[in-house]
């Protein structure tokens, strides 16, 4: 049996000359021999128990993430929420962070931030389709990773929003945001400042980011939105949660309804007046409101918006998505 000094010399020699994995093996073997000098010679059929060499390939296939905050938003439900916040710059939300306020030191110097979040309102346990039909493609399919669909292999989304202000109260930071597509209660995973130098393709160069034609054409479309005379009279500033002026709220309503594109199924429901959201109070509880036959309804902030959706005949591009339909807001009632 080798002596302690011999074992140490063997360990040092192997460590300096062999690969890291092989050296690790012999270090463990030498340690075993040094701790058991009176043992008999090692039987090859009963080798010492060695710990596996750590390897990235043996890492767990799942990860655990804890939200750093939650969103409070004018969208209580996901149906009707804009597909991107920039399409409705007047929309508003706030993000209350869990870490202490020191984590946002310096963030007020930025005008825009990225919000990484979890699609918490997605249907759980649903199988994700590899190919889907975006509304703008009129039934044609592309891979889900070629779209911004919220129904993905992992329910993770990100949004670029405008940072209007930061409020700190009792060491708790709240970010005031505009241009949002985030539903109320959305768990936020991370916040990153927007830096155009490396977040915008072509910044400081002639490089141009290219996208498919169906995206370019789809983004040009807007639904015409009109308000029936007198329908705005029931909305009062004091009962709005996110707006100090009713005019700003009405502007947001027009933006949201004008860019609302849906699947063929939901477009058909809207045109028949069968798209009816439940009302949600400020405490999160459901509120019973009278449904009007043939009229859609969608809650924005604390107001239930009643509207009619009419197909724009002859507009082929928006046929399946309703992207070119006519919208008439006929009533607005506080929830």
pLDDT digits (tens, 9 = 90+) for 168-193: 999 999 999 999 999 999 999 999 99
Lowest-confidence range among 63-67, 268-272, 330-334?
268-272
Q: Which has the higher per-residue pLDDT, 93 or 14? A: 93
Whether 40 has a pLDDT exceeding 60, the answer reads: no
N residues, the chain: 335
Q: What is the pLDDT of residues 191-223, one digit of tens each?
A: 999 999 999 999 989 999 999 998 888 788 888
Q: How far apart are CA 40 and CA 7, in angstroms?
A: 16
For the chain, the straight-line distance linking the first and the last C-alpha, in angstroms and rounded, comes to 85
Phi, psi angles (nearest 5°) of residue 150: -75, -15
Q: What average pLDDT does this structure show over 28-55?
A: 46
| CB-side neighbour CA atoms (13 Å) of 7 | 15
Q: Could you tell me which of 228, 335, 190, 226 has the C-alpha nearest to residue 277? A: 335
Residues 6+ away with beta carbon under 8 Å from 40? none
pLDDT of 15: 41
What is the rounded (10 degree) CA torsion for 161, 163, 164, 166?
140
Whether 53 has a pLDDT exceeding 60, the answer reads: no
Lowest-confidence range among 34-38, 203-207, 271-275, 308-312?
34-38
Identify the three-state secondary structure at position 328.
strand
pLDDT of 159: 97
Phi, psi angles (nearest 5°) of residue 309: -120, 120
Cβ–Cβ under 8 Å, residues 177 and 242: no
pLDDT of 321: 66
Q: What is the pLDDT of residues 26-39, one digit of tens each?
A: 455 455 445 554 44
Q: What is the pLDDT of residues 88-141, one digit of tens each?
A: 999 999 999 999 999 999 999 999 999 999 999 987 566 888 998 887 776 789
Work out the pLDDT band at 239, boundaries 50, 70, 90: very high
Phi, psi angles (nearest 5°) of residue 69: 175, 180
pLDDT of 304: 93
Helices (H), the chain: 4-17, 20-35, 196-199, 213-220, 246-258, 264-271
Whole-prediction pTM? 0.76
What is the rounded (10 degree) CA torsion for 225, 229, 231, 235?
100
Instruction: Report the DSSP beta bridge partners of residue 100.
Output: 172
Work out the pLDDT band at 319, boundaries 50, 70, 90: low
Whether 19 has a pLDDT exceeding 70, the answer reads: no
List Cα–Cα distances, 327 to 51, 79, 306, 310, in angstroms: 67, 16, 10, 7
Identify the three-state secondary structure at position 70.
strand
Cβ–Cβ under 8 Å, residues 280 and 286: yes
pLDDT of 316: 58
Whether 297 has a pLDDT exceeding 60, the answer reads: yes
Two tokens at 71? 């969103």
Percent of the chain predicted with pLDDT > 90: 50
């Amino acid at each position: 049996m080798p002596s302690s000094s011999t074992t140490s010399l063997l360990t040092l020699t192997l460590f300096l000359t062999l690969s890291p994995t092989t050296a690790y093996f012999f270090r463990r073997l030498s340690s075993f021999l040094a701790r058991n000098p009176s043992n008999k010679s090692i039987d090859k059929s009963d080798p010492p128990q060695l710990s596996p060499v750590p390897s990235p390939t043996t890492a767990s296939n799942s990860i655990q993430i804890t939200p750093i905050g939650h969103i409070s938003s004018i969208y209580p439900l996901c149906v009707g929420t804009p597909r991107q916040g920039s399409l409705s710059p007047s929309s508003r939300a706030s993000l209350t962070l869990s870490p202490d306020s020191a984590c946002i030191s310096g963030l007020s110097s930025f005008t825009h931030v990225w919000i990484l979040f979890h699609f918490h309102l997605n249907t759980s346990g649903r199988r994700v389709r590899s190919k889907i039909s975006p509304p703008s493609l009129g039934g044609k399919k592309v891979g889900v990773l070629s779209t911004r669909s919220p129904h993905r292999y992992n329910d993770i989304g990100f949004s670029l929003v405008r940072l209007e202000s930061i409020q700190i109260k009792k060491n708790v930071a709240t970010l005031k945001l505009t241009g949002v597509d985030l539903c109320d209660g959305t768990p936020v995973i991370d916040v990153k400042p927007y830096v155009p130098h490396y977040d915008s393709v072509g910044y400081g160069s002639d490089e141009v980011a290219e996208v498919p034609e169906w995206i370019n054409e789809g983004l040009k479309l807007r639904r015409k939105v009109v308000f029936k005379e007198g329908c705005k009279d029931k909305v009062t500033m004091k009962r709005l949660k996110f707006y100090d002026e009713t005019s700003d709220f009405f502007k947001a309503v027009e933006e949201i309804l004008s860019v609302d594109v849906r699947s063929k199924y939901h477009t058909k429901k809207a045109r028949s007046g069968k798209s009816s959201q439940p009302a949600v109070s400020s405490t999160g509880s459901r509120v019973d409101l009278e449904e009007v036959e043939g009229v859609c309804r969608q809650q924005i902030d604390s107001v239930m918006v009643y509207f009619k959706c009419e197909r724009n005949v002859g507009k082929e591009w928006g046929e399946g998505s309703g992207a070119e339909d006519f919208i008439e807001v006929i009533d607005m009632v506080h929830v």
